[in-house]
């Protein structure tokens, strides 16, 4: 628990640092060009920004500065914030469990691989991620709609999976299978879903809101590098940010 709290504090401090850098860059831009920028109203579809991201030119761009992520950006060719969020979440997972899902996501996004799910009833919940389970939120929604879990029960399920609470594991498995069958779902499909959850979400379920937040800040960082590189890099140098401050 102490490690989780400390990691959370570290991540929060990193975000505050880069946001301070961006605010500092805004002041310099106002002074140099008379342009008043507001971080909350910067367009999220700027072509220069996505060109920079698609080319993987993301040195000193928040959370996307690493060489591996630069390569994946070039392969993925992201076109919106959802793509950035999914890429970062999958990369974070790949550091511990390999990059199989990440490679499937890239191939499906670019039309090189058929979009399919292990069980048909999962399709509508995984549509936005090309049939690949990425976020713990997706699992929670499936448990509610397929097996009638309450919101509280689905949240508890997420904790049981993440922490591998062995004494509660059989209980939730039985609840999911029995309730799903009562709702008309085939037991074979339910077992496939349960097995996938155990293998793909346990220990590393990534929150969609968290991924979206990081993607948004990363995009803003890329926006300033693409459009105001001098002011952005000068703001970084004034901040004394370290290499580790770019990565969570």
* 147 and 95 co-located in one domain: no
Which structural domain range is residue 20 located in? 2-112+207-240
* 141 and 24 co-located in one domain: no
* 40 and 90 co-located in one domain: yes
CA 25, CA 175: separation in Å to the nearest integer? 53
Q: What average pLDDT does range 121-141 have in this prediction?
A: 93
* 193 and 220 co-located in one domain: no
* 174 and 223 co-located in one domain: no
**What pLDDT, on the 0 to 100 scale, is given for residue 56?**
98
* 30 and 88 co-located in one domain: yes
pLDDT at 142 over 80: yes
Pick 120 or 37 by higher pLDDT.
Answer: 37
Least confident of 43-47, 85-89, 196-200: 196-200
Round the average pLDDT of the chain to a whole number and report it. 89
* 161 and 90 co-located in one domain: no
Judge if pTM exceeds 0.75. yes
In angstroms, what CA-CA distances link 16 with 37, 52, 184, 215, 245?
Answer: 18, 23, 48, 15, 10
123: in domain: no
58: in domain: yes
In 67-88, which positions are buried (b, 16+ CB within 10 angstroms) versus exposed (e)?
eebbebbebbebeebebbbbbb
Closest CA to 218 of 109, 34, 91: 91
Number of folded domains that form the chain: 2
Least confident of 1-5, 26-30, 211-215: 1-5
**What pLDDT, on the 0 to 100 scale, is given for residue 181?**
97
CB 81 within 8 A of CB 219: yes
CA 246, CA 18: separation in Å to the nearest integer? 8
248: in domain: no
* 218 and 153 co-located in one domain: no
pLDDT at 110 over 80: yes
- Residue 206: pLDDT band by 50, 70, 90 thresholds? confident
Q: What average pLDDT does range 111-116 have in this prediction?
A: 96
Closest CA to 138 of 195, 207, 82, 214: 207
* Sign of CA pseudo-dihedral 48, 49, 53, 56: positive
74: in domain: yes
* 186 and 217 co-located in one domain: no
CATH code of the domain in which 88 resides: 1.10.150.700
* 95 and 186 co-located in one domain: no
247: in domain: no
* 103 and 7 co-located in one domain: yes
Least confident of 126-130, 145-149, 173-177, 192-196: 192-196
117: in domain: no
165: in domain: yes
* 53 and 145 co-located in one domain: no
Backbone angles phi, psi at 10, to 5 degrees: -60, -45
């Amino acid at each position: 628990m102490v490690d989780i709290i400390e990691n959370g504090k570290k991540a929060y401090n990193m975000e505050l640092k880069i946001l301070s850098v961006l605010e500092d860059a805004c002041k310099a831009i106002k002074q140099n060009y008379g342009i008043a920028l507001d971080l909350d109203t910067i367009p999220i579809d700027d072509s220069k920004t996505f060109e920079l991201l698609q080319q993987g030119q993301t040195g000193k761009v928040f959370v996307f500065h690493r060489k591996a992520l630069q390569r994946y950006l070039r392969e993925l060719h992201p076109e919106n914030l959802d793509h950035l969020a999914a890429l970062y979440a999958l990369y974070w997972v790949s550091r511990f469990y390999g990059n199989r899902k990440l490679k499937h996501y890239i191939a499906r996004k670019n039309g090189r691989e058929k979009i399919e799910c292990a069980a048909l009833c999962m399709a509508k919940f995984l549509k936005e991620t090309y049939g690949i389970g990425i976020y713990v939120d997706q699992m929670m929604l499936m448990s509610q709609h397929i097996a009638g879990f309450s919101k509280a029960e689905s949240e508890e399920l997420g904790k049981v999976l993440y922490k591998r609470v062995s004494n509660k594991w059989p209980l939730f498995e039985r609840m999911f299978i029995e309730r799903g069958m009562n709702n008309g779902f085939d037991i074979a499909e339910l077992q496939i879903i349960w097995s996938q959850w155990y293998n793909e979400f346990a220990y590393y379920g990534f929150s969609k809101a968290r991924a979206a937040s990081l993607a948004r800040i990363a995009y803003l960082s890329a926006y300033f590098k693409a459009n105001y590189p001098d002011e952005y890099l000068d703001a970084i140098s004034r901040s004394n940010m370290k290499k580790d401050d770019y990565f969570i």
